[in-house]
Structure 1
Amino acid sequence: MLPSLFFAAERNARVTPIVEAVSGILPSVVNISAGTEKAESKSSSESRVLGSGCIVDQTGLVLTNSHVIEGAERLNITLSDGRTFTASIVADDPANDLALLKIVTEYQKDSWGAVKMAEPGDLLLGETVIMAGNPYGLGSSISAGILGAIGRKVVYKGKIVFNDILQVDAPIYPGNSGGPLINLNGEMIGISTAVHRNAPGIGFAIPIMRIENVLASWMLPEKFKRAKLGFVPAVRKPNGKPEIYIYSVEKKSPAWEAGIRGGEVLKTFDGKEIKSLIELSRELMRLRVGNTVKLTDTENRSFSISLVPAGVNDGAGVAKELLNISIQEMSPRLADALGFSGLLGVVVSDSFGAGSKIKRGTLITAIDGMPVKNFFDVAEALRDNVSGDKIKLSTVSEESGKKEFWVYAK
């Protein structure tokens, strides 16, 4: 046998199912840290590793645990190729210990490789599973084990909080939280969340069915395109086979006017078979005002839904939704207290955004060049903005004086 053929055969023998699965998943696994570095910086000695995450949509949406980002002032995401970006918080659900982040980049058309998700409930007790993450901030690492239990209960103060937790013996180390748990097909079946306090070799993961249902409540045109659709889809498995259905519908919304009442089991979206909830969610979040979509259900009923602008008369709500800040209208007493006498604008009373340039006590005088002096003005100024848009703010603060800068809508 020729030497080249011998070495090729030897290498092929080493390419196990674990190796193949890992090669497909690692580009979607990210490190999440808190620090002060700027977007697209190479490195920073000031970073503090918080945990891991995985890319769930090509637009740069990253899923992680809620506890990973808790209390972080600024978030940075490092990809498997070493590039580092700042991130904004899109949604956070501490009750389910899930959070959704978005990579912030100057190039809004950047595309990111998203993780492949398993069919909800497709689990085999005893199957080999792989945990991917960034333990101790060392970079992409994996550990392998078996799926030891399905449907573990989590009890809090005597009440069952969850009854769907996955138990694994693949080691989960500090920094692994939020990383994907995958099967040998390279499909995510859950994300790591905790280790057993008294048994370090036992780890727990949130299953993909709960993940997809939480994501479906977030990945909607109302959040990403300021377009009103009016329903939230979900997935369940009543007879051993997943079905996607209407979990909730808002009265007087376009979906309600189209005849949707909730509970309908969906079959097609714009003429295409609905194969998974995550794929439907990715379609829904891209819809815009004026789009018309057609749904059919398993009873062969058809629904035509035309999207309309989402309500935008609440300036305080819009500021929190897009800029991750709480604002209050100026009063003579507040102006005197903050040293803004004679100035018009709205005051930032709290700032929640990771890496936000908008500090508490800042006076916002204009948004995209439009003067703002009350909630109504803020609503008007932000009326056409959606997630990812670049917004120019004119501000005054005690620390920086008059300043103009750009921020990205979360």
Structure 2
Amino acid sequence: MLYIMNWSNLALALSFLICGATLCPAPEKTPSLYRRTISSSVEVLVNGRIAGTGAVVDANGTVLTACHVIRTGERYEARSSTAKRTPMELIATDRSHDIALLRLPKREKPYPFLPFAKTIPAEGRPAHLLGTPIFRHRLLLTGFVARREPLFEWYDGCFMEGYSLTGVVAGGTSGAAWVNGKGEIIGVQVAAMTVGEAPKGVVTSAPLKAIRSLCENRKTVVAPTMQAAVEELWAQGPEFIDNAPANAKGLVFRQVDAKGVAGEAGIRNGDLLLKMGKQSYETVTGFMRALRRRKPGDKIRLSVSSARGQARREVVFPLAELK
């Protein structure tokens, strides 16, 4: 019997065998981290200009971003990889953690969204962020969790509470969601450590607990503020420390708003905060945690002196609203 070899059919059969065995990759069972974050992220435009990034956090189109991103204007839009520029409405803000919620228009088709993680990864674990640094669209950046315990940072005219990561970010990434390797939200990019304008590789994220709370309650959070910053004494320059009272304990007033409640009570930049009530504080975080347990309108009593320890006095004033 005579067999005639059909080379085209043989080549086709071999290609199927080879691809099935090793060489041809199988279709993705789940989208990559990059694809998941892109489909659920938006660029946030304020008054027509890209001001930051946001993440869709539910199927109804709720967008999470940084509060300082939307404070620069009153007209909000979203721009994504799949949608045209779309108007958004403001739902709620929380300046004490620098986060905000906006709403995309209602539609029949559910919006793709990023779920929340149960916990923040341990220190040293990687985290990822999809943002628009300096108008470079949809870049996936990587950092590492540096400390899960929240600290207080002075930013955008107030103290905000957040936790630290290592990573280099730039303008346009504010409001972007930090996610774990599964694409679950673990935080929101809100601030970066800089000296002058140079980034130093340490950034701040809003805490996961505060994000969850705002998304669940969907109401603007009003926190107390004395409309002034404080710094730790050992963070001051050599001359300031040399002129301070011997064995001084306390904090140093900075960024005092002359028209704010602390300024109107006679507190000036460089004054020493010796006590609040009967308690002295040496760290910003310890003092701010005590202050944030109070409510706007509550009166606080502070023991204050000049930077050299002179003009010691008691001042009493009501806390203002931070909103």
With the length of structure 1 as denominator, give the TM-score of the two structures: 0.44
How do 1:96-175 and structure 2 match up within 5 A?
96-104=97-105, 108-119=107-118, 121-156=119-154, 161=159, 165-175=162-172
Residue 63 of structure 1 corresponds to: 64
Aligned amino acid, residue 59 of structure 1? N
Corresponding residue pairs, total: 198
Residue 200 of structure 2 corresponds to: 200
> What's the secondary structure of 1:57's corresponding residue?
coil
**Separation in 2, partners of 1:78, 1:210:** 26
Cα distance change of structure 1 residues 146 and 115 upon mapping to structure 2, 3 Å threshold: same
Instruction: Select which of 23, 31, 37 maps to 1:25.
Output: 37
* TM superposition shift of 1:94: 2.2
**Separation in 1, partners of 2:98, 2:44:** 15
**Separation in 2, partners of 1:51, 1:140:** 11
The answer to whether the Cα contact below 8 Å between 1:190 and 1:205 also exists between their aligned partners in 2 is: yes
Cα distance change of structure 1 residues 97 and 24 upon mapping to structure 2, 3 Å threshold: same
**Separation in 1, partners of 2:164, 2:71:** 24
* TM superposition shift of 1:122: 3.9
**Separation in 2, partners of 1:114, 1:81:** 13
Residue 3 of structure 2 corresponds to: none
**CA deviation profile, 1:203-257 (whole Å, cap 9, x unmatched):** 111121110012222179xxxxxxxxxxxxxxxxxxxxxxxxxxxxxxxxxxxxx
**CA deviation profile, 1:3-24 (whole Å, cap 9, x unmatched):** 6455435x99xx9x9x833332
The answer to whether the Cα contact below 8 Å between 1:124 and 1:147 also exists between their aligned partners in 2 is: yes
Cα distance change of structure 1 residues 148 and 101 upon mapping to structure 2, 3 Å threshold: same
Residue 213 of structure 1 corresponds to: 213
Aligned amino acid, residue 187 of structure 1? E
Cα distance change of structure 1 residues 96 and 166 upon mapping to structure 2, 3 Å threshold: closer
* TM superposition shift of 1:58: 1.3
How do 1:297-316 and structure 2 match up within 5 A?
none
The answer to whether the Cα contact below 8 Å between 1:131 and 1:170 also exists between their aligned partners in 2 is: no
**CA deviation profile, 1:104-135 (whole Å, cap 9, x unmatched):** 3xx5434211211101x342111111111222
Aligned amino acid, residue 209 of structure 1? K
Cα distance change of structure 1 residues 67 and 219 upon mapping to structure 2, 3 Å threshold: closer
Residue 90 of structure 1 corresponds to: 91
How do 1:5-404 and structure 2 match up within 5 A?
7-9=23-25, 20-35=32-47, 47-104=48-105, 108-119=107-118, 121-156=119-154, 161=159, 165-198=162-195, 199-218=199-218
**Separation in 2, partners of 1:4, 1:194:** 48
Cα distance change of structure 1 residues 168 and 8 upon mapping to structure 2, 3 Å threshold: farther
Aligned amino acid, residue 128 of structure 1? P
Aligned amino acid, residue 129 of structure 1? A
**Separation in 2, partners of 1:101, 1:123:** 27
Identity rate, percent:
20
> What's the secondary structure of 2:93's corresponding residue?
strand
Structure 1 runs of 4+ aligned residues shifted over 6 Å read none
* TM superposition shift of 1:171: 2.4
**CA deviation profile, 1:345-398 (whole Å, cap 9, x unmatched):** xxxxxxxxxxxxxxxxxxxxxxxxxxxxxxxxxxxxxxxxxxxxxxxxxxxxxx
**Separation in 2, partners of 1:22, 1:151:** 28
Q: Which 5+ residue runs of structure 2 have no aligned equivalent? A: 1-13, 221-323
The answer to whether the Cα contact below 8 Å between 1:130 and 1:170 also exists between their aligned partners in 2 is: no
How much is the aligned-residue C-alpha RMSD, in angstroms? 2.9
The answer to whether the Cα contact below 8 Å between 2:150 and 2:163 also exists between their aligned partners in 1 is: yes
**Separation in 1, partners of 2:176, 2:154:** 24
The answer to whether the Cα contact below 8 Å between 2:154 and 2:160 also exists between their aligned partners in 1 is: no
The answer to whether the Cα contact below 8 Å between 1:128 and 1:147 also exists between their aligned partners in 2 is: yes
Aligned amino acid, residue 25 of structure 1? T
Residue 259 of structure 1 corresponds to: none
> What's the secondary structure of 1:210's corresponding residue?
helix
Aligned amino acid, residue 216 of structure 2? A
More relative contact order, 1 or 2 (CA 8 Å, 6+ apart):
2
The answer to whether the Cα contact below 8 Å between 2:116 and 2:184 also exists between their aligned partners in 1 is: yes
Q: Which 5+ residue runs of structure 1 have no aligned equivalent? A: 36-46, 221-410
